[in-house]
Amino acid sequence: MKRSFWLLLPVFFAGLSAFTSTETLPLKLALLKYNGGGDWYSNPTALPNLAKFCSQQLGINFDPENAVVEVGSADLFNYPFVHMTGHGNVVFSDLEAENLRNYLMAGGFLHIDDNFGMDPYVRVALKKVFPEQELVELPFEHPVYRQKFTFKNGLPKIHEHEGKSPQGFGLFWEGRLVCFYSFECDLGDGWEDPQVHKDPEEIRLQALRMGANLVQYAFSGE
């Protein structure tokens, strides 16, 4: 199902053109700032590195400096791809939940990456945004795993934490994936500068490739 966002916001027409051309102004990935005390600002080098990787691999002209956008801000609608991370509590007010819901229903895309510890909180917060929907684990055949790069077995395992297998969950609206939640994976740690977590280069590459898939899916909608 094609996105309606391109009809609502002229800035997104530039985003769609940028998917096939590197001659447009650079686009920005956005980091979601939320309340509740969780460290929404963790992994500060993650999105800049992902933006550089996507510019190289996808042909999209991205600004290496990401934006920061609050859940309840109208500025949320300026960004086709919004990333959310942290280790702890997440709280959305009624107005914030409504704003995020409208953004996602209009064609936006949210990637939530559990940096270990936010799972019980983010599930409650998402239920406030979409009380009628449930997070469902995506099959490995879902298009999000088969964009520029193919992940036949779903999400790569970046950090061990509790040693569980990584899982990719999704929220859908009218048949479209509007939110992808990576759990027991920690993609954002893999996007960070090499010296931060000292992950092997192949692990970092897998994390960046999966991130590029998410960005590509967000921009193409299929």
Per-residue pLDDT of the chain (222 residues; tens, 9 = 90+): 334 443 344 344 333 433 334 456 789 999 999 999 989 999 999 999 999 999 999 988 999 999 999 999 999 999 999 999 999 999 999 999 999 999 999 999 999 999 989 999 999 999 999 999 999 999 999 999 999 999 999 999 997 767 789 999 999 999 999 999 999 999 999 999 988 888 899 999 999 999 999 999 999 877
Tell me what pLDDT residue 198 has: 86
Cα–Cα distances in Å, from 128 out to 8, 70, 114, 133?
Answer: 24, 17, 18, 10
Whole-number pLDDT of residue 83: 98
β-sheet with 176-183: strand ranges across: 67-70, 30-33, 81-86, 109-114, 176-183, 167-173, 136-137
CA dihedral sign of residues 185, 202, 178, 73? positive
Supply the pTM of this predicted model.
0.89
C-alpha 149, offset from chain centre:
16
Bridge partners, residue 176, by sequence: 173
Sorted by where each starts, the structural domains of the chain and their CATH numbers stand as 5-220 (3.40.50.12140)
Q: Please spell the DSSP secondary structure of the chain, one letter per residue.
A: ---SHHHH-HHHHHHHHHTT-SSSPPB--EEEE-BSS--TT--TTHHHHHHHHHHHHH---B-SSPEEEETT-GGGGG-SEEEEEESS--B--HHHHHHHHHHHHTT-EEEEEE-SS-HHHHHHHHHHH-TT---EEPPTTSGGGBSSSB-TTSSPP---TTTPPPEEEEEEETTEEEEEEEESS-HHHHHS-HHHH---HHHHHHHHHHHHHHHHHHHH--
Rounded CA separation 23/155 (Å): 32
pLDDT of residue 24: 63
